[in-house]
């Protein structure tokens, strides 16, 4: 009979402090929900002297991982140090010592999830990672349990809080990219190296996790096409607004006839799209299932307590399994072999902002590049930008294939009429 549960925490930064606050502050609820006391036994940090964002007894802190992963009384290890190699090593050690593991580490799960899950299963341990995607939104449990009966064909997500916060503030408050990134870092949304946020890598890791679960295939990080937001300018956002779109960093995973595409890229969403109204650090995941139809899950995608909510809910699940004696039995192997779509099979509309020569014939030469590729234009705008004979052309194509669009991009670059392709983004038609 499990009479109490002892937890070891690896990391006491933004998320770790939230876990301590929730485990300490929700004792009554936890006792009621799992039927026995749950307490924190040891906490690994790098710097024992640092001021913490939670109240913690100094004797619980250690700078030696062995005190957590090899501790004889610890039943559950929560990994929130981040990074890959060190975290992988500690988690493997904990699992091989028959400790259940909870992690918020999408970098690690996207790269080594299969290895860690099979080690957990081999040791009869749970390995849960709800907080690794979309912070406080219970999206992993939704795919694994809530929609387990359905066939999912499409998932679109705003799964990075930092970039959504940056795009919202740049658009609504006219702030610069650098100003807002600094704010997002101060608020604890950004990764320790924010490059992975702004270049779309963090979102790509999350989409690899979601697509693997949703499509029951082993989707690797390398299978995800990635483009970040660091080149987006206030002019792009202004034109998007004029055309009735909102710019978002969108994770896109689709399955047609057994083949899948997974990407993360800045995307123009019609203002009527359900994801267009998701603001600030909030995340949302739109899921289409053949039987259920459209569903959407919304909430805070980053931050101390939202992320800790998912972790402590995983803890509740682990303790319930411990009391039932069923840990390590929830891993389901992928059902399908991975098949990725080719560029000819991926469809989309595209936005271009071009600087062209402002002279007779330019316009027809430009539109003929699209016409020769059998792509028609849905929206078009032209205005002079300077006295040196340069005009700005902004356009949106009708639906075409990624392959045709790549050809158009190449031809535009090669023609003498386009001076610079200022920007180029995907446009979403409808949900």
Ligand X SMILES: NC(=O)C1=CN([C@@H]2O[C@H](COP(=O)(O)OP(=O)(O)OC[C@H]3O[C@@H](n4cnc5c(N)ncnc54)[C@H](OP(=O)(O)O)[C@@H]3O)[C@@H](O)[C@H]2O)C=CC1
Binding site for ligand LTNE7NMQ (CB under 6 A): 135, 160-162, 189-191, 197, 202, 301-302
Shortest Cβ 347–ligand X spacing (Å): 32
Q: In angstroms, give the least distance from the CB of 50 to ligand X.
A: 5
List of long-range contacts for 360-365, beta carbons under 8 Å, 24+ apart: 362/391, 362/417, 363/393, 365/415, 365/417
Q: Which one of ligand LTNE7NMQ, ligand X, none interacts with residue 160, CB within 5 to 8 A by kind?
A: ligand LTNE7NMQ
CB of 113 to ligand X, least distance (A): 13
**Rounded distance, CA 121 to CA 105, Å?**
19
* Catalytic residue ranges: 206
Nearer to ligand X, 67 or 347 (CB): 67
**Footprint of ligand X on residues 113-132 (CB under 6 A)?**
131
**Which of ligand X, ligand LTNE7NMQ, none does 128 bind, CB closer than 5 to 8 A by kind?**
none
Among 307, 309, 321, 327, binds ligand X (CB under 6 A): 307
Partner from ligand X, ligand LTNE7NMQ, none binding residue 113, C-beta < 5-8 Å depending on class: none
Closest residue to ligand LTNE7NMQ, Cβ-based? 162
**Residue 428 — φ and ψ, nearest 5°?**
-90, 135
Identify which of residues 194 and 289 has a Cβ nearer to ligand LTNE7NMQ in the complex: 194
Q: Which of ligand X, ligand LTNE7NMQ, none does residue 197 bind to, with CB < 5 to 8 Å depending on kind?
A: ligand LTNE7NMQ
SS3 category, 111: helix
Q: 424: which strand partners?
A: 352
Count of residues in contact with ligand X, rule CB under 6 A: 26
Residue 332 three-state SS: coil
Residues 398, 312: Cα–Cα separation, whole Å: 46
CA 230, 86, 119, 330 dihedral sign is negative
Rank residues 17 and 162 by Cβ distance to ligand LTNE7NMQ and give the closer one.
162
Q: How open is the CA angle 265-300-316, to the nearest 5 degrees?
A: 120
Q: Is 135 helix (H, G, I), strand (E, B) or coil?
A: coil
DSSP letters spanning 70-105: T-TT--EEEE-S-SSHHHHHHHHHHHHTT-EEEE--
Which residue's CB is nearer to ligand X, number 107 or number 261? 107
**Under rule CB under 6 A, residue 47 binds ligand X:** yes
CB of 139 to ligand LTNE7NMQ, least distance (A): 12
162 binding partner (options ligand X, ligand LTNE7NMQ, none; Cβ < 5 to 8 Å by kind): ligand LTNE7NMQ
- The item of ligand LTNE7NMQ, ligand X, none sharing an interface with residue 11, based on CB under 5 to 8 Å by kind, is ligand X
- Please tell me the number of Cα atoms within 13 Å of 243 on its side-chain side: 28
Q: How many helices (H) and strands (E) are present in the chain, helices listed first?
A: 14, 17
In the numeric block, which tokens belong to residue 200? 């779309």
- How far is the C-alpha of 430 from the C-alpha of 280, rounded, in Å? 22
Q: Which two tokens stand for residue 116?
A: 């860690």
| Closer of 191 and 236 to ligand LTNE7NMQ (Cβ) | 191
Of 135-154, binders to ligand X (CB under 6 A) are: 135
Q: What is the DSSP letter of 379?
A: E
Segment contacting ligand X (CB under 6 A): 41-49, 112-120, 174-182, 322-330? Answer: 41-49
Smallest distance from ligand LTNE7NMQ to CB 157, Å: 11
SS3 call for 57? coil
* Contacts (Cβ under 8 Å, ≥6 apart) of 411: 369, 372, 373
């Amino acid at each position: 009979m499990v009479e109490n549960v002892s937890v070891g925490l690896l990391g006491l930064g933004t998320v770790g402090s939230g876990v301590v606050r929730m485990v300490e502050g929700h004792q009554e609820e936890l006792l009621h929900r799992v039927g026995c006391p749950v307490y924190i036994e040891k906490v690994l940090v790098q710097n024992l002297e640092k001021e913490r964002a939670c109240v913690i007894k100094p004797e619980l802190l250690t700078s030696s991982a062995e005190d957590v992963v090899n501790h004889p009384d610890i039943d559950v290890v929560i990994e929130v140090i981040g990074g890959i190699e060190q975290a992988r090593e500690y988690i493997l050690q904990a699992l091989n010592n028959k400790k259940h593991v909870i992690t918020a580490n999408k970098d690690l799960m996207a790269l080594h999830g299969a290895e860690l899950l099979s080690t957990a299963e081999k040791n009869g341990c749970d390995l849960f990672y709800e907080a690794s995607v979309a912070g406080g939104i219970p999206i992993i449990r939704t795919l694994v349990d809530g929609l387990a009966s359905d066939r999912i064909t499409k998932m679109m997500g705003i799964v990075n809080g930092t970039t959504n916060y940056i795009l919202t503030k740049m658009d609504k408050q006219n702030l610069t990219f650098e100003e807002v990134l600094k704010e997002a870092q101060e608020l604890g949304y950004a990764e320790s190296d924010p490059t992975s946020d702004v270049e779309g890598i963090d979102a790509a890791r999350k989409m690899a996790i979601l697509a693997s679960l949703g499509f029951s295939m082993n989707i690797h990080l390398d299978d995800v096409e990635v483009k970040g937001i660091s080149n987006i300018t206030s002019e792009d956002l202004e034109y998007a607004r004029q055309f009735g779109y909102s710019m978002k960093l969108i994770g896109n995973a689709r399955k047609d006839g057994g083949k899948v595409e997974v990407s993360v890229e800045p995307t123009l969403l019609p203002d009527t799209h359900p994801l267009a109204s998701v603001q600030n650090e909030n995340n949302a995941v739109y899921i289409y299932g053949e039987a259920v139809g459209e569903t959407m899950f919304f909430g805070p995608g980053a931050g101390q307590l939202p992320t800790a909510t998912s972790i402590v809910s995983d803890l509740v699940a682990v303790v319930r399994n411990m009391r039932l004696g069923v840990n390590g039995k929830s891993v389901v192997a992928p059902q399908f072999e991975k098949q990725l779509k080719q560029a000819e099979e991926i469809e989309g509309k595209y936005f271009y902002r071009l600087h062209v020569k402002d002279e007779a014939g330019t316009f027809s030469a430009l539109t003929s590049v699209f016409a020769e590729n059998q792509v028609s234009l849905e929206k078009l705008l032209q205005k002079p930008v300077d006295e040196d004979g340069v005009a700005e052309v902004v356009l949106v194509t009708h639906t075409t294939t990624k392959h045709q669009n790549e050809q158009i991009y190449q031809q535009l670059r090669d023609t003498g009429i386009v001076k610079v392709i200022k920007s180029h983004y995907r446009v979403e038609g409808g949900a």
